[in-house]
Amino acid sequence: MEPVYVFTWDNISVNAYSFGSQIAYPKPMTVQYQNSLQPSGRPLYTWASTDVQLATDTGTRPNSVLPILKPGVRYHLILDMDVTPVQSVGISIEFFDYDGQLLNHSFGAEQVLDFVFPEAAADYKISLVKFNNEQVEFRTLMLFETDLYAAYEFDWTHAGRMIRFNRKQSHKPYNQVSVVFKHQYQPIDTVYVNPATPVTYTIEMDRMDADEIGPFVQMLLDELKVDWNHTTQLEVTGIGLGTAEVVQQFKQAWHTTIR
């Protein structure tokens, strides 16, 4: 499995610029942000590893630890958001050495940014930076290895709870399918691509009671059976507590509904 990292705007995080800000959460995976008082060049939101003891001392919640990146590897950041006016929010990534000193930084004025993680870097932080912005509707920031991003197309469904990675040049109907069930985490999450199959569905599920699993599984299969009516090989994986029963019922229902 190859990881893809998903950064979201946590509604209880201290990492947003909040002074004078109007922040709303109209639906899952969506944040609306306005602040006419915020100076240009300041971050709207920052993802950074926070020392647990420092967070305890200051009375704030520690942020999730940022993904460990590979030195010398090229990565691709892509934003899913709407901004007014266009190109009024950019991406900044800063790299730090083992002493916490700034080594280098990369900056993009558009909604994509490619960078190579420096060999000497020990840490980094990612920020959304304001220019002459009036309004932002933010959904996700995704981080891929560039080679993986170049090889796949992806799309979200189910209010951001299911993401399909489709290998380029692969077309419906799919003979081989990989499904990954996992729980969703904020503000930093990991979803997965199985390079052994042409398409991977990562499905992020809530914790469910036993009587909720069957309807959840059937709802998914009712939606996916059109894509899978020629599927002969299905690989289903569960990551985390509470996914084993979902995996078992999904396999059984697939054989009944589609096979």
Label residue 188 exposed, middle or buried (CB < 10 Å: 0-12, 13-18, 19+).
Answer: buried
Inter-residue contact 166 to 154 (CB < 8 Å): yes
For tokens 């305890």, name the residue. Answer: 56
pLDDT at 60: 46
pLDDT higher than threshold 70 for residue 52? no
Residue 61: pLDDT band (50, 70, 90) is very low
pLDDT higher than threshold 80 for residue 85? yes
pLDDT at 161: 83
pLDDT at 159: 67
Across all residues in the chain, what is the average pLDDT?
86
* Distance of alpha carbon 143 from alpha carbon 4, whole angstroms: 6
Domains of the chain are: 2-145 (2.60.120), 146-257 (3.40.50)
Which letter, b or e, does each residue of 7-44 get, where b requires 16 or more Cβ atoms within 10 Å of its Cβ? bbbbeebebbbeeeeebeeeeebbbbbbbeebeeeebb
Q: Which of 180, 178, 175 has its CA nearest to residue 196?
A: 178
Residue 57: pLDDT band (50, 70, 90) is very low
Q: 59 or 96: whose pLDDT is higher?
A: 96
φ/ψ of 130, rounded to 5, equals -85, 140
* Distance of alpha carbon 128 from alpha carbon 23, whole angstroms: 15
* For range 195-224, the mean pLDDT: 89
Contact partners, residue 38, CB within 8 Å, separation at least 6: 17, 19, 20, 21, 44, 130
- Taking only the tens place, the pLDDT of each residue in 181-205 is 999 888 899 999 999 999 999 998 8
| pTM of the shown model | 0.88
- Taking only the tens place, the pLDDT of each residue in 111-135 is 899 999 999 999 999 999 988 888 9
* Distance of alpha carbon 26 from alpha carbon 93, whole angstroms: 28
Amino acid at 35: N
